[in-house]
Amino acid sequence: MNKIIALVTGGFTGESVVSMKSSAFVESQLDRTKYDVYKIVILKNEWYYEDANSVKHQVDRNDFSIMPGDKKITFDAVFIMLHGSPGEDGKLQGYFDLLDIPYTSCDALTSALTMNKGYSKAIVDGIPGLHVAKSVQLFQQSDENAGLLLSSLQLPLFIKPNNGGSSIGMSKVKSAEELPSALDKAFHEDTQVLVEEFIQGREFSIGVYSGKNGITVLPTTEVIPSNDFFDFEAKYTPGATEEITPGRMSPEEKANVERIVKDIYIKLNCRGMVRIDYFLQDKTSNFYFVEINTIPGQTAQSFIPQQVRAAGMDIGEFYGELIEKALESGEVNGGR
């Protein structure tokens, strides 16, 4: 008998458009001989399932069920494909925990912590071989911020919303004159802003997941943006970035990276699939942690699908493995 899966998408932020693209790709790849899939859209004003006739059926939030016909449908597991809030910051995970419905992502605590870039860096700092760029975390917009940053950090700087995703609101600042507008841009997206010194090196993004063979590291992707850095346009405009999968690393670099990202996955108590962004510093090859994404994008041009294919795996089977792991954890934890 097929398992009934809710594929959750939408969201409360500007990343909702990416969520819809990601969920459409996942939906197209899931094995329908094993899973009955219902795409649930979660927006601020409504939660619904839209059937083949474009009729919306509202979600009963008391038990996360729908009734598209005469029979109530409840779900064996949830595939969370919702970037930003409430799918990536722990809110939905806490809700599903209360209902004892297993899901494919990290738990509520890990999701909330990793959504905050500054907190994530503080937790992983100390892992052998892992480096973090010198940074300042700002908690409010102030006329004094620019002076504080210039006295504490060396230009150029990366300025980013502390809880954002998809590089929305992010800037690279090369001069003091650029600071005010960059800070305004970041604070427009978030109440906290993280400012980091720029690390000269090669940029990579690597997937890690827990499946039938335990914690597995996928082939990394080397990122060479045509823009000054890997911003929203570079991420989602086909051809705007050169992406090399597997990325170019020596055997020693590869072994070091795989050890470090496994340690990150374990220390942050991750589940499901995550994507870790990092730099290998020029000359030293030191690993510099940038951030972790617990609901990585799954559009046709996204890194994880590239890496799954490079590993010789079928993407539909990969998604199925994530679902089976979630179902397994649900049984262990007393869920459905």
Catalytic residues: 15, 166, 236, 275, 277, 291, 293, 297
Q: How far is residue 39's CA from residue 56's CA, in Å, rounded to a whole number? A: 11
22's tokens: 């990601």
Buried b (16+ CB within 10 A) or exposed e, 77-107: bbbbbbbbbbbbbbbbbebbbebebbbbbbb
Q: How far is residue 221's CA from residue 153's CA, in Å, rounded to a whole number? A: 29
Q: Could you give the C-alpha distances from 270 to 4, 70, 215, 219, 285, in angstroms and in order?
A: 24, 39, 10, 19, 26
74's tokens: 């409840």
Q: How far is residue 28's CA from residue 30's CA, in Å, rounded to a whole number? A: 6
Q: Please give the DSSP secondary-structure letter assigned to residue 144.
A: T
Q: Could you give the C-alpha distances from 6 to 23, 35, 102, in angstroms and in order?
A: 11, 10, 11
203's tokens: 């940029």
- DSSP 3-state of 159: strand
Q: How far is residue 107's CA from residue 289's CA, in Å, rounded to a whole number? A: 21
Amino acid identity of 71?
Answer: K
Buried b (16+ CB within 10 A) or exposed e, 220-257: bbbbebeeeebbbebbbeeeebebebbbebeeebbebb
